[in-house]
Amino acid sequence: MTEFEPTIESLQSYRCPDWFRDSKFGIYLHWGVYSVAERGEWYPRRMYMQGTPEYEHHVQTYGHPSQYGYKEFVPQWKAERFDPDRLVSLFKSAGARYFCPCAVHHDNFDLWNSRHHRWNSVEMGPRQDITGLWREAALKHGLRFGVTTHLARSYSWFNVSKGTDHEGPLAGVPYDGADPQYADFYHEPHDDTDRRHPLNPPASWRKTWAARIVDLIDAYQPDHLYFDGALPFQGDDQFRTGMEVVAHYYNQSVRKYGSQECVMCLKNIPDHGLYVPGIATLDLERKRAETALPEPWQTDTSIGPWGYDVRRPYRPTDEIVHELVDIVSKNGNMLLNVPPKADGTLDEETERILANIGRWLDVNGEAIYGTRPWSVAGQDDVRYTHKENTLYAIVLGWPGTPVTLRAVGDTRVEAVSMLGSAEPLLWSHDPKGLTIQWPNQKPCAYAYAFKITLSG
């Protein structure tokens, strides 16, 4: 296979591999230094913004950010109960087919044995190769391994650490990010504080970003890579650096497998970098496609907050399962985030949600994994998937009364059953649709899959 070049035309030779299309469900997680504060993954920015709840909490709990900055959390993140083997086993039991932990967030702290950045989880904090341990556990349990990286935005996102209060007794006193001895963590002095994407980052930051991401790719060989945005960087770079790194990633996969078997996910958000259809797989953050898309895509979403946050509730399991079904019916995958606590454990509710999803997929996975979209993605509370001559109609709830599947009106039906149920079903078929009587007992919770065998 010809190697990829760092051009749009060459990157459009990208093809989403079948393993990803068949997997449908992956687990994602945000875990890092920010987990110590238990106020979410944006705490490192908002603690430096006077007037935000995070700033007020920080001053009251830890002290003023001129004296107690984000760097003080680094030695507090010890990950003392981190058991990657147990956690990945839970993810597999939940039905995940791939696993993509966050390897670096906007806080500029690398969760691997970084060769280009001393602020990393091996030299500081947990003093463990977090990414390496995740990878080892994922491969042991038969999951495809990937990583997500949010580093490109850090240059401007984290730059509020050099600011000051705009009012009050300490107005004008610089926060700790202005201290030059920590410039390699808080970034060199500049004025850009854009939360979305650096407006025109210098060559020094572009080079640093590329070196660290290439190091991550080469050392851990992820089969899935996700940028929190699109191709960096806007401004003078004209996205050349992003194209070079993505081409390197694709070529690494070609050398490993003989063809491009990796998945690259980017977002189509104009103020988050450059997105061009065909250069990668489309990612929709906390969103869904309205109809089935011709190419595979991904939704990254969460059971609640991204990073562990004691203030925010989790979503009910039925809502998560219904979202998964809807996404799969439209040719997409769900990458579901779960937020560990600072010590490396999941709280009881998170484990309960994962177990509930796993029980549902144990019954209904046949209608999810390896399927393709039907000619109609869904009607009303029904979503469709299929494999060869088998159609699956997944009903989002238990109406109890007969259901008529209008999308099956023109199709010849040979047999109808419900996944997880041994009860014979009464059904009738005419041009108006397929009408099915429900079994007496529910085989599971949340959503129910009719298995329909079609003629021909």
From first to last of its 456 residues, what are the pLDDT tens digits of the chain? Answer: 789 999 999 999 999 999 999 999 999 999 999 999 999 999 999 999 999 999 999 999 999 999 999 999 999 999 999 999 999 999 999 999 999 999 999 999 999 999 999 999 999 999 999 999 999 999 999 999 999 999 999 999 999 999 999 999 999 999 999 999 999 999 999 999 999 999 999 999 999 999 999 999 999 999 999 999 999 999 999 999 999 999 999 999 999 999 999 999 999 998 899 999 999 999 999 999 999 999 999 999 999 999 999 999 999 999 999 999 999 999 999 999 999 999 999 999 999 999 999 999 999 999 999 999 999 999 999 999 999 999 999 999 999 899 999 999 888 999 999 999 999 999 999 999 999 999 999 999 999 999 999 986
Average pLDDT of the chain to the nearest whole number: 97
Contact criterion met (CB below 8 Å) for 80 and 344: yes
DSSP reduced 3-state for 453: strand
Residue-range domain boundaries for the chain: 8-367, 373-454
122 token code pair: 């091996």
Ordered DSSP codes for 374-432: EEEEEETTEEEEEETTEEEEEESS---S-EEEGGGTTS-EEEEEETT--S---EEEETT
d(CA 213, CA 149): 8
CB atoms within 10 A of CB 359: 17
Long-range contacts of residues 114-119, Cβ cutoff 8 Å, at least 24 apart: 114/212, 114/215, 114/216, 115/215, 116/208, 116/211, 116/212, 116/215, 117/184, 117/208, 117/212, 118/184, 119/74, 119/184, 119/185
Cis peptide before 233 (omega within 30 of 0): yes
Is 373-454 a CATH 2.60.40.1180 domain? yes
Whole-model pTM: value is: 0.98
161 token code pair: 């650490």
d(CA 210, CA 382): 45
Q: Options 3.30.2320.50, 3.20.20.70, 1.10.274.10, 3.20.20.80; which CATH number does 8-367 get?
A: 3.20.20.80
